[in-house]
Structure 1
Amino acid sequence: MIFMKHDAAQAAAPLVMPVEAIAFDEASRRRAPLQLLDHEPVALPDPVMARVAVVGLGYVGLPLICGFSHNSRSIGLDIDGEKIAELKNQIDRTGEVTGADLAEADALYTTDASDLADADVILVCVPTPVNSRNRPDYTPLLAASRDIGMHMKKGCVVVYESTVDPGTTEEKCLPILEATSGLREGVDFYLGYSPERINPADPTRKLADIKKIVAGSTPVVTEFLEVLYSRVVKAGLFPAASIRVAEAAKILENTQRDVNIALMNELMALYDKMGIRASDVIAAASSKWNFHNYRPGMVGGHCIAVDPYYLVDAGRRHGLSMELVAAGRSVNEQTPYFLVDKLEELFASKGERLAGKRVLVLGRSFKEDCPDTRNSKTFKMMDYMWAQGAEVFNFDPVADDDHAEGGRGTTIVDDPFEGGAYHAVIVTLGHRVFREQLDLETLTTLAPKGAPLIDMRGQYDGETVHDHFNYWRP
């Protein structure tokens, strides 16, 4: 079966077609409709004009809503009523889409799952976190599957975008869809997987610019998804061999990054003991064409710092320890403690202690220029400093603290000058606002000469910084 885009005249035709059809052409549209028997598969929607619903309106869901609404009215479902109210007023708290994008989008924003009954395609973009023991927490995914199953119509295509371990879509989600709907996949509805690749706070790589993996329960469904997603993705589609392959590919992408950063973090600690700056080593190694340039740092957020645990759990179920993946997670979880120990060392070099010192931390979101503070390891670092007796202050004009975690002994300030003079400064992120408004000269007014300055992104590195600060960077 081949799906093809069609012109405006064809767009006026019915939105469903028999699975057995070979193309969207005028000849096929003039044929008498096939009489479907009870055991025959229901028709797939027209991928070009299908009405798309998105479950979960965060970084991943909102760009999809805006993109798909260009062809037909989209439906956006989220359990957060406050978020729905904001979206109706063209406000995106994540900053991933603009007010103009939301104003232009032809979309219904709702908390009522019954609205899913009007959708031809349902995209699932809910979080897949871990619990307190770092085990996969499928609760949001399974709850979304139940809601979808209760309301989806016959002929619907359900596509999961959430990052999961291989087998989750077909072994955990599909049985719920079938049980709650009373429908059979492949006969009454269809299943697909297309892992999200959104890079939050990256203005150069938006949804349309990132090649997307698609996989359906059958080759025909995969072809359908290629045409469907071509409505919003211009960088191309990659048809994976199966849903499980697509799931595995996504979790490999994130785990590879986590493990590579862990290598840099471990070498940062070693090189520091040897009196070598890690950034100098990385710059030298980068002169080789096939060196992969990763930087040390705290790995947080809801993707890179979470997804490897799904692989570790999958390995456990199959009798494998996944030692490398688990070790990478362990190294990255220790990095906040390394930075506090480094600060203690800088004070000790002057015969002082961290206890009783006033420390200003610049940045608390999990990533540069991103408002999201979920699972930010800066909170872990600040908690440890507080436990060591420091008085901790934090300034981050970018951060949205709706999801703030930790920071129990930290004073959040709206102005870095509010806290008075500090004994040390730690810069965890290279926010653009820091570069523009907190230059080195301004920073020198916040702490006395000789105060430790830990600069994780090296944005204050230079000869003059040593004139005032006891400076350290990876």
Structure 2
Amino acid sequence: MKLYEKIKNKEEKISVIGLGYVGLPLAIAFAKRTDVIGIDHNKNKIKKYHDGIDVTGEVGDKSIKETSAVLTNDESKIREAKFHIVAVPTPINGDKTPNLDPVVSATTTVGRNLTKGSIVVFESTVYPGVTEEVCVPILEKESGLKYGEDFKVGYSPERINPGDKVNTLEKIVKIVSGMDDETLEDVAKVYELIIEAGVHRAESIKVAEAAKVIENSQRDINIAFMNELSQIFNMMNIDTKAVLEAAGTKWNFLNFTPGLVGGHCIGVDPYYFVYKAEQLGYHSQIILSGRKINDNMGKYVAENTVKTLIKADKKIKDAKVVVLGITFKENCPDVRNTRVIDIINELKEYGIDITVVDPLADKEEVFEEYGLELKPINEIKNMDAVVIAVPHNEFQKISLGDIKKLYWNHKPVLIDVKGMLDKKSAEDMNYLYWRL
């Protein structure tokens, strides 16, 4: 009997290693169809899950409380499963090179608990070749088992869009791949248990790895184009949003907008791709140019905040500015690799006093990661400028009139990074308004 059949019949289990924004939804979804063990080394995270708290905001507290999945930090539980999914983050180092430490660590953990007849599937975003050239040797070394005979591997890149309640895990086509045809079919059939949109069988593991990194590289480049346009239009005193609305009336105009590009995918994946290309002697021209533009947008927003403060005759040093939003994107609690921090750090360089408000972000995580203390919005007053960095739904409920209560005098400076508010209404209320 194939492994897929045994999993479907609950004769074998699935283990998910890494219970974050990718792994948790997988564990919860698979647990509705079969037996699942979820592993994460973070004891505090596991405790919150046991308390029925979804720290990712992806599946909801109710799903956590009701799931049959066993969520634990006991790695020995991996031995009870035969189908293993590695879903850990792949960040970058300070020099923009890939940091494979989380993948290596997770692979080592799986390897020392691997049993014969297992399939290991990697979901972490990597450059082409990592699964077979980096991970497989670790699995062999740690397990003492032989690749292709005692265990097999596959790759199925995650496509989770954090905070998106429409394009959820089950509704996104899943790319799957395997080391051979038999593995590919087992991997495909297992994912078909939960993926309503269906699966795409890639012809090789490297093809699947490459598909993932170029998906986000393409998006990164398109956003970089918008960011470059916004800088040019700003010099021309033309409103970028108005231009995009006009251009968007054409059926084939791509609907991208300027903004900060952070998080653990779009702001990271292109560096994995160009790293591998450079190893082969090719220096990226388009991809790295896009990355350079997007990496500098936080500084650009800060500079325009200062310029707008000057227009309002505000003293720059010791000016009080509140930043609304610290997460990497709207309606998502994830603060990893957020580029809002670039705005904050740049403003601090001018001696500006910064206060940060974000009802979605975890206070402890923000303080630990960035040394910032989050404040509730009802404590904010006497500001010189308000920077709406992340347009959470909760911020969109705040009226222009309510925002005015955050300032101490006339000439209120309002920086609306992603154009959440109506520009004309803001200007009619005498805001000094600026947006990308």
Q: What TM-score do the two structures reach when normalised by structure 2? A: 0.95
Is 1:464 matched with 2:428? no
Match of residue 285 from structure 2: 323
Q: Is the 8 A contact 1:372 1:401 kept in 2?
A: no
Which of 66, 69, 75 aligns to 2:31? It is: 69
Identity of aligned residues (%): 38
Q: Count matched residues.
A: 431
Larger deviation: 292-301 or 100-109? 100-109
Taking the aligned partners of 2:379 and 2:62, their CA distance within structure 1 comes to 35
**Per-residue CA shift, 1:245-278, capped at 9, x if unaligned?**
0000001111111111111111111110011111
Taking the aligned partners of 2:72 and 2:184, their CA distance within structure 1 comes to 29
Match of residue 445 from structure 1: 405
Give how far 1:396 is off.
0.9
Which of 48, 54, 58 aligns to 2:8? It is: 48
Taking the aligned partners of 1:102 and 1:407, their CA distance within structure 2 comes to 29
Distance 1:44 1:293, change over 3 A: closer
Give how far 1:425 is off.
0.8
Is 1:433 matched with 2:394? yes
Taking the aligned partners of 1:349 and 1:147, their CA distance within structure 2 comes to 57
What's the secondary structure of 1:463's corresponding residue? helix
Give how far 1:439 is off.
1.1
Which of 161, 168, 172 aligns to 1:206? It is: 168
Match of residue 91 from structure 2: 129
Give how far 1:103 is off.
2.6
Give how far 1:345 is off.
1.5
Q: Is the 8 A contact 1:47 1:224 kept in 2?
A: no
Is 1:229 matched with 2:191? yes
Q: What TM-score do the two structures reach when normalised by structure 1? A: 0.88
The one-letter amino acid of 1:214's match is: V
Which of 246, 250, 267 aligns to 1:288? It is: 250
Alignment of 1:56-455 (within 5 A): 56-404=18-366, 412-414=374-376, 416-436=377-397, 438-447=398-407, 448-455=409-416
Taking the aligned partners of 2:255 and 2:16, their CA distance within structure 1 comes to 35
What's the secondary structure of 2:276's corresponding residue? helix
Q: Which has the larger radius of gyration?
A: 1
The one-letter amino acid of 2:426's match is: V
**Per-residue CA shift, 1:422-452, capped at 9, x if unaligned?**
111110111111122x211101111233221
Q: Is the 8 A contact 2:363 2:373 kept in 1?
A: no
Larger deviation: 133-142 or 65-74? 65-74
Give how far 1:417 is off.
4.1
Distance 1:191 1:411, change over 3 A: closer
What's the secondary structure of 1:123's corresponding residue? strand
Q: Is the 8 A contact 1:156 1:190 kept in 2?
A: yes
Taking the aligned partners of 2:418 and 2:204, their CA distance within structure 1 comes to 40
Give how far 1:97 is off.
1.1
Q: Is the 8 A contact 2:414 2:434 kept in 1?
A: yes
Q: Is the 8 A contact 1:129 1:306 kept in 2?
A: yes
Alignment of 1:2-17 (within 5 A): 16-17=1-2
Larger deviation: 287-296 or 396-405? 396-405
**Per-residue CA shift, 1:333-361, capped at 9, x if unaligned?**
11011111111221232444422211111
Taking the aligned partners of 2:102 and 2:214, their CA distance within structure 1 comes to 22
Match of residue 26 from structure 1: none
Distance 1:387 1:407, change over 3 A: farther
What's the secondary structure of 1:468's corresponding residue? coil
Taking the aligned partners of 1:335 and 1:422, their CA distance within structure 2 comes to 23
**Per-residue CA shift, 1:345-387, capped at 9, x if unaligned?**
2123244442221111111111101111111111121111011
The one-letter amino acid of 1:56's match is: G
Give how far 1:99 is off.
2.3
Give how far 1:182 is off.
1.5
**Per-residue CA shift, 1:208-235, capped at 9, x if unaligned?**
1111000000112111111100111101
Q: Is the 8 A contact 2:7 2:34 kept in 1?
A: no
- Gaps of at least 5 residues in structure 2 are none
Give how far 1:47 is off.
4.8
What's the secondary structure of 1:266's corresponding residue? helix
Give how far 1:463 is off.
3.0
Distance 1:463 1:44, change over 3 A: closer
The one-letter amino acid of 2:340's match is: T
**Per-residue CA shift, 1:105-151, capped at 9, x if unaligned?**
21212212111111010000011111111111111101111111111
**Per-residue CA shift, 1:380-403, capped at 9, x if unaligned?**
211110111111111111112444
Q: Which has the higher helix share?
A: 2
**Per-residue CA shift, 1:308-350, capped at 9, x if unaligned?**
1111211110111112111111111110111111112212324
The one-letter amino acid of 1:220's match is: E
